[in-house]
Amino acid sequence: MRAAVGFRLRLALFFVATLVTVQLLTAALVYGVTRRALVSEGERQLAVNAQAFVAQMDDLSARVAGNVEVMALDYALRSAIAERDHGTVYSVLRNHGRRVGASRLQLVGLDGLVEVDTADVHASGQRFAFPDLAEHAFERRTAAVVALQAKAYWLVVVPIYAPQPVGLVVVYVPLDDKLLAHLRQLSALPGDIELAVRSDASGWVAAAQGLAHTGLVASQAGQGLPMRPAMRLVDGHEYLVLAQPLSQPHSSTPVVAVLGYSLGDALRPFHSVVIAWAMLLALGLVVGLIGAWLTARSVSRPVESLAGAARRIEAGDYRALPSLDRRDELGQLAAAFGTMADAVRQREERIRQQALHDQVTDLPNRVAAETAIDRARDAGTAHGALLMVGLTRVPDIIKTMGHGLYDRLMREVGARLGRVAANAYLARATDTQFVAWLPEADRTEAAAAALRILDALNAPYAEADVSIDTLPAVGIAMHPEDGALASVLLRHAEVAQFTATGSTRPLAFYDAATDPHRAERLSLMGELREALDHDRLLLHYQPKLALAGRRIDGVEALVRWHHPRRGAVPPQDFIGLAEDTGNIQRLTRWALAAGIAQASRWHAKGLALNVAVNLSARDLEEAELPGRIARLLAIHGLPPERLTAEITERAVIGEPEAAIRVLKGLADMGVGIAVDDFGVGQSAFAYLRYLPVSELKIDQTFVRHLAQDASDQIIVRSIVELGHRLGYRVTAEGVEDEGALEHLAAIGCDHAQGFFIARPLPAAALSGLAVEWVGAT
């Protein structure tokens, strides 16, 4: 968007700048040319006006002279002059002077002396001030401008004939503001006219100003008056100024007519042109801006639309692009965009297909299943069942038959599932697990579906020369009882499936109570660590009865935990947890310390009791274990033969070499090594050969029904014989009745352990029992 606006703005700015520049250049050019033309026109007009002014003055003088000449023909005047009647002459002159607009008249005699002066009664007898004017008065009309007391006068000299020349009448017409204004009005000369008189003191002084009172002369004080048209500043305005000399007697102070030509006035008619031009410029700007904006929009609109389409593609919306019906570059770009979007859409579909589908079975994968289930739930599916179908023999199949066959097998499984669970949403959750989501299904329907699936999968998979049993197991999690989120349902279904896998029934519903992965177990672990730190656990001891002497000579130490809130926590709950979470070593360390301490106390009391402590597989990975046990024994002063380490066969299988090294170290010290739960684990007779075993403990499953079950009797007897042959002592666990005890004693078993002899007891309770047991039987 910003880019588009920027483009529009730039284009508009470019238009405007170009338009304004061109217009301004044109305006400057036109102004320059016009101004030059006006200046030269002004110079010409000034010259013409100056001549016109002179001509006007001549006209004026002719008019004045004509008037005076008529006056001079007056008989009375002539008679008065001829008879030197000065009083009469004075009055006549004054009378006529008013008529012709003169401010002063003089009668000058032929001798050049003033005879009568209307302005000065005492002037008679004085010499006429401008004799050169009088000299030619009889030859031609004589008129000139003179300056008197810084005022300008137009002098007209008229001869008087009576009938021969008898004198001259000199008329003084004042060249004042009024006259100049009158002249200007008559002639309509443009510009202004002033008269300037040169005064010695201050250069030129204005003697009269025209209508406008421009101050032409005053503004030029100190720089002289131009005799040719020149540009001068008058009151801040530009004027062409020309000083026109006037006809003057030699004896007069110089007087010039100053003509001004206002450039501003001359330019005034062009103001309308300027306004029109400015309006045209504004109009051009508006039109140009609109045009630029429209042009830019025709470009930026599709660009913006393409940008919007690109953002939609970015967001995953591949809907049809706005079609640009244009043949230009933008059209091509839009077309390229369209094909690109198609390509991206196809590629994305392929990637999504790959990401959400299993390539082997072409079923959705777990992620897709979770999404689908969540979406179904959001869409209003109130309840449903999630079936997790596990194939337990898969690792064996891959190892045996290879991946090719395995993939074919999985495809077949998928196909079978599709056939028997047509209404279900099927997905492949992991390599070995399939998921079937049954919306709206209740427990019964879920179980029925699970059974159908099991039926379908139990039929062996057959290929040319192989036939494979997949051993399926189904776990079921119900929605919403077992969880709302698909991920939770999946986990719970998997837990249920593991349960089913481990049991005889290949079908199990999720049971929160037996779920070993429940969240509260994690908090239990934290509390176990705290109990260890604060020594809140304790050891109970289950006696072992020596069958030969019918006396208690050993105990198995078993950890008990009285949780302050939960009460007694079953050992299978927290021991497995400790194993899973890596805390078993701390538990073992505590049990060893507590067991050895108790054994040494018994030893100090004179009770000869062997204490057996269980070690886990993780404990056997610890190379320093023998050293630590040796230190504990030394601290408590307990002979090593009073301690027995009980291990399971499983514990050795993980890291055989390390475990054997640890066990040998213990055996070398004199600590006894007992193999617990013998007979039910994955028998590892091979390892047995290498283990420094001193005792075998027959698992209670063989012992519990020993009195009645003949096969158990055979197994137990065989184990006892085998143990004795290998040099081991043999202990039977889970002895719960007298018959079993007697049978064990009969076949020569060394020790018996079980509820029939005694439950695990606190140390204090055991002290007495160890002494009394013989008497109780």
The least CB distance from residue 250 to other proteins, in Å, is 14
Residue listed under structure tokens 């299993």: 358
DSSP string covering 602-667: HHHHT---EEEEE--HHHHT-TTHHHHHHHHHHHHT--GGGEEEEEEHHHHHSSHHHHHHHHHHHH
Other residues' Cβ atoms within 10 Å of the Cβ of residue 576: 13
With CB under 8 A as the contact rule, which of the stretches 52-60, 74-82, 411-419, 660-668 interacts with other proteins?
Answer: 74-82
Q: Does 138 interact with other proteins (rule: CB under 8 A)?
A: yes
The binder of other proteins chosen from 109, 390, 543, 679 (CB under 8 A): 109
Q: Which is nearer to other proteins, 62 or 653 (CB)?
A: 62
The binder of other proteins chosen from 6, 112, 460, 516 (CB under 8 A): 112
The binder of other proteins chosen from 20, 162, 230, 231 (CB under 8 A): 162
Query: What is the C-alpha to C-alpha distance for residues 193 and 23, in angstroms, rounded to an integer?
Result: 38
Q: Which is nearer to other proteins, 143 or 241 (CB)?
A: 143
Q: Does 59 interact with other proteins (rule: CB under 8 A)?
A: no
DSSP H/E element including 319: none
Residue 27 region, left (φ>0) first, then alpha (ψ -120 to 50), else beta?
alpha
Q: Does 140 interact with other proteins (rule: CB under 8 A)?
A: yes
* Contacting other proteins within 720-749 (CB under 8 A): none
Query: Could you report how far apart the first and last alpha carbons of the chain are, in Å?
Result: 98
DSSP state of 514: G
The binder of other proteins chosen from 159, 288, 414, 672 (CB under 8 A): 159
Q: Does 54 interact with other proteins (rule: CB under 8 A)?
A: no
- The answer to whether 247 and 144 are in contact (CB under 8 A) is yes
The residues, ordered by sequence, that sit 6+ positions from 637 with a Cβ below 8 Å of its Cβ are 600, 603, 604
Structure-block tokens of residue 639:
């002979």
Q: Does 161 interact with other proteins (rule: CB under 8 A)?
A: yes
- Mark residues 237-276: x for contact with other proteins by CB under 8 A, - for none: ----------------------------------------
The least CB distance from residue 158 to other proteins, in Å, is 10
- Picking from 699, 774, 754, 763, the residue whose alpha carbon sits closest to that of residue 730 is 699
What backbone phi and psi angles, to 5 degrees, belong to 603? -60, -40
DSSP string covering 211-280: SS---HHHHTTTT---SS-EEEEETTEEEEEEEEE----TTSPPEEEEEEEEHHHHHTHHHHHHHHHHHH
With CB under 8 A as the contact rule, which of the stretches 99-107, 138-146, 444-452, 487-495 interacts with other proteins?
Answer: 138-146
Q: Does 82 interact with other proteins (rule: CB under 8 A)?
A: yes
Q: Which is nearer to other proteins, 141 or 452 (CB)?
A: 141
Q: Does 236 interact with other proteins (rule: CB under 8 A)?
A: no
DSSP state of 128: P
Q: Does 79 interact with other proteins (rule: CB under 8 A)?
A: yes
With CB under 8 A as the contact rule, which of the stretches 3-11, 69-77, 92-100, 572-580 interacts with other proteins?
Answer: 69-77
Q: Does 73 interact with other proteins (rule: CB under 8 A)?
A: yes
Q: Which is nearer to other proteins, 75 or 685 (CB)?
A: 75
The least CB distance from residue 52 to other proteins, in Å, is 20
Q: Which is nearer to other proteins, 58 or 328 (CB)?
A: 58
| Cα dist from 582 to 113, 520, 534, 574, whole Å | 152, 17, 19, 12
The least CB distance from residue 70 to other proteins, in Å, is 10
Helix 269-314 and helix 329-356: axis angle, to 10°? Answer: 20
Query: What is the C-alpha to C-alpha distance for residues 265 and 678, in angstroms, rounded to an integer?
Result: 131
The binder of other proteins chosen from 139, 325, 329, 378 (CB under 8 A): 139
> Which residues make up the interface to other proteins (CB under 8 A)?
62, 66, 69, 73, 75, 78-79, 82-83, 109-112, 135-136, 138-141, 159, 161-166
